Amino acid sequence: MPARTVRFRQVDVFTSVAFKGNPLAVVFDADDLSTDAMQAIARWTNLSETTFLLRPTDPAADYRVRIFTTSRELPFAGHPTLGTAHALLESGHTPKQPGRLVQQCGVGLVPIVERDTGAWAFAAPPARIEPLGDAQLQRLDAALGQGVIDFNAPSCAVDNGVPWLLVRLNTAADVLALAPDRDAMTALVADTATLGLAAYGPHAGAQEDSAAAATFELRALLYGAENAEDPVTGSANAALACLLSAQNRQPGRSFTVRQGTVIGRDGRIFIDYDHDGADARAWIGGHTVTVVEGTFRL
């Protein structure tokens, strides 16, 4: 029996320069693939996520997507959202509304809009925010190295479909130098039911035309099954945007986060809010470039 082929793209997300962002595999025409087949493909690509494009079941959506890591399915993830939208548009898809897509995924409908810069941005899903208790904070302080946490900003478990432990450090330099105790963090991540640590800190006097061109530096360190550093993370930055809004600590109506520096990437995430205030809606944006285009033989 001849092999079936499906269209495939591998894209680099949160960058306008190939090999500097977070790679994503996008598989088209996946409606008749089983969950086991999708998981097998995602395990084989060995990327942080692989997505599968399907026909939507909600009439409001442009498309439906299923998102897999090498070990499990996720209801939502940020760089797969932008990367999948990019691959779909580049393939010739015409949105129902110009400059706007609606993605159907495990958390429901996620709007994605085109910005004047040509970047696309998704609306951060609602997040559940749980501040850490005193005992957990003490364990966190010991695991990260005493003196680096900014205790003026409460550390929290934030879940927007992907749960992260959000911790503000005193400076961007502290983020870049961070070398947590892995065993202690693995236990704390399990205790807080999160995927990993998202540590962020401010660049001193950062302006958009500075060398850093970012307000914050962020690192997303995974513990457990993945056990690695994620290059550039949409869900963690969406969680950060929601947490800053809830704590009324937004640095402005818009700002930029840099991620991936320690592992040789240069990801840039653009965050903006519909309006000021604790209930401001956050949009997480970035550029995407295609690196590989072809077909899978199944």
Active site residues: 49
Contact 63, 52 (CB under 8 A): no
Beta strand 254-259 pairing with 267-273: antiparallel
Measuring CA to CA, how many Å separate 131 from each of 1, 57, 135, 151? 56, 36, 12, 12
Residue the block writes with tokens 């690509």: 45
Question: Are the CB atoms for 102 and 61 separated by under 8 Å?
Answer: yes
Sign for the CA dihedral angle at 76, 79, 80, 83 comes to: positive
String of DSSP letters for 129-176 = EEEPPHHHHHHHHHHH-TT-B-TTS--EEEESSSEEEEEEBS-HHHHH
Contacts of 60 (CB under 8 A, 6+ apart): 102, 109
DSSP symbol at 272: E
CA 94 – CA 193 distance, rounded (Å): 39
DSSP 263: G
Q: Which one, of 53, 50, 54, 34, lies nearest residue 42 by Cα?
A: 50
